[in-house]
Amino acid sequence: TCEPLLSFVFVAMGRSSDRSGSPKKKEDRSRSRRKDSRSPSRKDGGKKKPDDYGVDTMKITDDDAAFILGKGGKTKEKVARVSECEIELFERDLILEFRGTKLQRRKAKKYAEGVMAQRTGPVNITEDFDDGDMTTLMVPQEAVGFVTGRAGNFLRTIEEEWCTLMFFCEIGSGRNKDFEKLAIFGGVRARRGAELKVLSAVETKVPGYLEKIRDDVL
């Protein structure tokens, strides 16, 4: 009477063993899962760098280092994001390092110089500052404070929203007592979005201003 029962037990055990699989099969399946779950970003990391990819450095002062770094490193990150260049600050040696294509490095360096120049006064830029990445906008003096915001917060908000870099500057010869020139850096769409946001703020402070310059900006 026990033989049929034992046969049933052995058959059940055999089925259980088949379902669980051998240790080798388990290992093979585990390896397969690990292989399939690899992040695609690792593969992208092996992409060939452009022919003009390189490294540039810039010597800065201790005060400049604090200014270009910004609160929590946000200013440095913003410059890197807009220029699409890798930027590293070596605080002990007071050196800024730029990694990217020739154009990316050029943009990052001029953005960094512009940001640091704000520490001591108005930024003076020349026409060759434009690498197809700059839009300038005349802002009436009575609206400059409103556009800037408290401690520059309004401009920083626009920069964050549109991935741009913005600062008031002087281009060529001197300043205009009635207007301040605002430089906006970034991609075409980003600059346009930031420009319209600024114009909206100016129109709030100086009603009718947009109508006067419509042909210049539209």
- 95 versus 11: which is more confidently predicted? 95
**Arithmetic mean of pLDDT, 174-203:** 91
| Residue 69 reports pLDDT greater than 50 | yes
Quick one: how far is CA 115 from the chain centroid?
15
φ, ψ dihedrals at 139, nearest 5°:
-115, 125
- Choose among 180, 179, 182: nearest CA to 194: 182
Does the pLDDT at position 117 exceed 60? yes
**Beta carbons of 168 and 181 less than 8 angstroms apart:** yes
pTM for this one?
A: 0.74
φ/ψ of 184, rounded to 5, equals: -120, 125
pLDDT value at residue 175 = 63
Contact 108, 60 (CB under 8 A): no
Mean pLDDT estimate for the chain = 82
Structure tokens of 31?
């390896």
Q: Tell me, rounded to whole angstroms, the distance of Cα 19 from its chain centroid.
A: 52
Alpha helices in the chain (DSSP H): 2-20, 23-36, 40-44, 62-69, 74-83, 102-117, 141-148, 153-162, 188-205, 209-212, 214-217
Structure tokens at 24: 């080798």
What's the half-sphere exposure (Cβ side, CA atoms, 13 Å) at 3? Answer: 0
Residue 206 buriedness (CB in 10 A; 0-12 / 13-18 / 19+): middle
* pLDDT tier at 43, thresholds 50, 70, 90: very low
Q: pLDDT confidence of 173, banded at 50, 70, 90?
A: low
What pLDDT score does 18 carry? 47
